[in-house]
């Protein structure tokens, strides 16, 4: 296994049709503007892999189809299994009506409220769209290796929390590529902005300038960068590093911070940071409804890659899959739904549809340990899935995974993870590790997977009876 992670941006996300029907009502009832949904569908994959595997070339076209199913719509509609399972898990609090009219299945908006009010449910659903991890308190520990200077570290770890709250450092993206912000890759290739903050209402770029920015050549470059940023709609704030060291930046930025503090991204994440949603049954259910489908799709993207790479082969007797759930529950539903999709695609193409047995190990956290699991029990038997669970910090002896997937929806890709050594103790020497995290920003262009055409095998008897 390699010791270096390869990182890239990926697409894949589900969003319940029930929530699509409710979006306008959520906004009206909660008075909270919902953020861009595409941000839920774009994420970072860090991959630690064994390079010596043989790829499953025979099923590459099928996997390309599956990739596009996950990426379409950004986010796209989930399968009936995912929608029904998630909505079923909400029933202690809310019961969503499912109807079938002229062959079209619809979920909601008719809802019966049991142990919460409609107003409370709408408010919690709105809050669940704003991502922050209340467990991360120290940016200096959580953002290892992303700073170019001590002044940058001080600005994010001290100045920003002083201005906007202890949570706010999670909202600022360090070292963002300039070409991504201005759409001009040729003029400023490989150049970065120290920090950016972007929401539906704001586009702020922060530069912490050391003494080198005083020389004429650097000053000319800075001026050209500033012009490009302004033309792309960004407000740039250049701060001398000396002012950061002296601790006088807060007074200079006080007017900006007062206005920025009213931005829904800052306000709602502050509420989520100080009063975590998982502390109430309604908030925990809202996180499950909004974010678990997103996590399901992300895990399936990783599983597709593992099958493509030959880490998971169709001729194996058993796939041992380890999922580290840092927050919302997703692994059981993701794996069952993946097996259902893959077996159907194989069946359509005329390939053997019987899949290996699955040994699924889930390491979860205490905050989400008690979320109801409503995956139909018969599906575990149908697809040969056995499940073991433990807390992330425990030390059980049943790790021998072909694939380890470490997933968090609340954390961003530049937050620190345990490191390659920690994962090597969890997987086989031939295994792969996938770390899945959200992103602060994403590229505008979407990618579509392509491969050779699929030849579908249609039974002669079936074809004759249809003609």
Residues 312-351 have pLDDT tens digits of 999 999 999 999 999 999 999 999 999 999 999 999 888 8
**Same structural domain for residues 391 and 308?**
yes
Task: Judge if 157 and 87 occupy the same domain.
Answer: no
Lowest mean per-residue pLDDT among 5-9, 145-149, 304-308: 145-149
Q: Where residue 352 falls among pLDDT bands split at 50, 70, 90?
A: confident
Read off the tokens for 61: 């076209």
Give yes or no: residues 419 and 316 share one domain.
Answer: yes
pLDDT at 214: 61
Q: How far is CA 299 from CA 137, 293, 295, 395, 436, in A?
A: 27, 10, 6, 23, 8
Q: How far is CA 335 from the centre of its chain?
A: 17
Q: Does the residue 448 lie in any domain?
A: no
Return d(Cα 307, Cα 220) in angstroms, integer: 50
Q: How far apart are CA 381 and CA 296, in angstroms?
A: 20
465 in a domain, yes or no? no
418 pLDDT exceeds 60? Answer: yes
Q: How many residues does the chain have?
A: 467
pLDDT of residue 213: 60
pLDDT score, position 266: 96
- Both 262 and 295 in one domain: the answer is no
pLDDT at position 58, please?
A: 80
- Element spanning 95, H or E: strand 94-101
For 341, the token pair is 């999709």
Q: Is residue 384 part of a domain?
A: yes
CA distance linking residue 282 with residue 94, whole number of Å: 9
Can you give the pLDDT at residue 270?
Answer: 97
Give the mean pLDDT of 89-101: 91
Q: pLDDT value at position 461?
A: 45
> Vertex 358, ends 47 and 311: CA angle to 5°?
35
Q: Is residue 363 part of a domain?
A: yes
Query: CA-CA distance, 402 to 190, in Å (whole number)?
Result: 36
**Residues 43, 119 within the same domain:** yes
Same domain, 269 and 214: yes
Report, as an integer, the average pLDDT of 247-264.
90
Same domain, 117 and 150: no
Confidence of residue 55 (pLDDT cuts 50, 70, 90): low
Q: Is the pTM above the cut of 0.85?
A: yes
- Determine, yes or no, domain membership for 462: no
* C-alpha distances out from residue 188 to 28, 94, 203, Å: 42, 52, 19
Residues 270 and 150 in one domain: yes
More confident residue, 170 or 145: 170
280 in any annotated domain: no
pLDDT (0 to 100) of residue 15: 96
Question: Residue 250's pLDDT band (boundaries 50, 70, 90)?
Answer: confident
Which structural domain, as residue segments, surrounds residue 295?
Answer: 6-124+291-438
On whether both 305 and 420 belong to a single domain, the answer is yes
Residue 458 falls within a domain, yes or no? no
Does residue 50 lie within any of the structural domains? yes
Q: Are residues 347 and 236 in the same domain?
A: no
Cα separation, 152 vs 169, whole angstroms? 12
Of 402, 206, 190, 392, nearest to 317 by C-alpha is 402
């Amino acid at each position: 296994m390699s010791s270096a992670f390869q990182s890239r941006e990926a697409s894949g996300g589900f969003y319940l049709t029930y929530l699509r029907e409710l979006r306008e009502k959520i906004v009206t009832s909660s008075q909270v503007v919902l953020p861009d949904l595409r941000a839920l569908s774009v994420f970072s994959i860090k991959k630690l892999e064994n390079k010596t595997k043989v790829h499953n070339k025979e099923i590459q076209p099928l996997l390309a189809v599956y990739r596009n199913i996950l990426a379409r719509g950004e986010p796209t509609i989930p399968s009936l299994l995912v929608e029904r399972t998630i909505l079923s898990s909400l029933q202690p609090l809310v019961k969503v009506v499912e109807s079938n009219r002229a062959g079209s299945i619809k979920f909601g908006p008719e809802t019966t409220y049991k142990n919460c009010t409609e107003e409370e449910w709408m408010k919690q659903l709105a809050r669940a769209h704003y991502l922050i991890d209340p467990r991360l308190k120290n940016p200096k520990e959580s953002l290892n290796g992303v700073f170019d200077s001590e002044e940058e570290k001080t600005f994010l770890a001290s100045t920003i929390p002083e201005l906007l709250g202890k949570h706010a450092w999670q909202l600022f993206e360090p070292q963002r590529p300039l070409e991504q912000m201005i759409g001009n890759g040729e003029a400023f290739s490989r150049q970065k902005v120290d920090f950016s903050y972007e929401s539906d209402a704001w586009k702020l770029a922060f530069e912490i300038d050391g003494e080198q920015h005083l020389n004429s050549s650097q000053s000319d470059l800075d001026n050209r960068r500033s012009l490009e940023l302004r033309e792309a709609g960004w407000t740039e704030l250049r701060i001398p590093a000396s002012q950061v060291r002296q601790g006088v930046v807060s007074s200079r930025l006080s007017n900006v911070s007062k206005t920025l503090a009213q931005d829904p991204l800052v306000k709602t994440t502050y509420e989520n940071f100080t009063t975590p949603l998982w502390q109430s049954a309604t908030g925990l259910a809202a996180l499950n409804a909004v974010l678990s489908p997103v996590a399901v799709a992300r895990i399936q993207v990783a599983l597709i890659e593992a099958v493509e790479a030959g880490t998971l082969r169709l001729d194996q007797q058993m796939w041992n899959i380890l999922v580290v759930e840092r927050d919302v529950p997703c692994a059981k539903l993701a794996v069952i739904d993946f097996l259902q999709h893959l077996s159907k695609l194989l069946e359509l193409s005329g390939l053997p549809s019987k899949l290996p047995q699955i040994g699924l190990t889930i390491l979860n956290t205490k905050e989400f340990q008690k979320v109801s699991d409503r995956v139909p029990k018969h599906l575990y038997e149908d697809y040969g899935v056995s499940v073991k669970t433990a807390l992330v910090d425990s030390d059980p002896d049943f790790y021998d995974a072909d694939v380890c997937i470490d997933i968090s929806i609340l954390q961003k890709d530049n937050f620190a993870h345990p490191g390659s050594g920690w994962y090597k103790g969890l997987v086989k020497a031939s295994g792969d590790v996938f770390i899945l995290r959200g992103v602060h920003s994403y590229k505008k262009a979407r990618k579509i997977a392509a491969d050779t055409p699929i030849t579908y095998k249609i039974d002669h008897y079936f074809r004759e009876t249809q003609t």
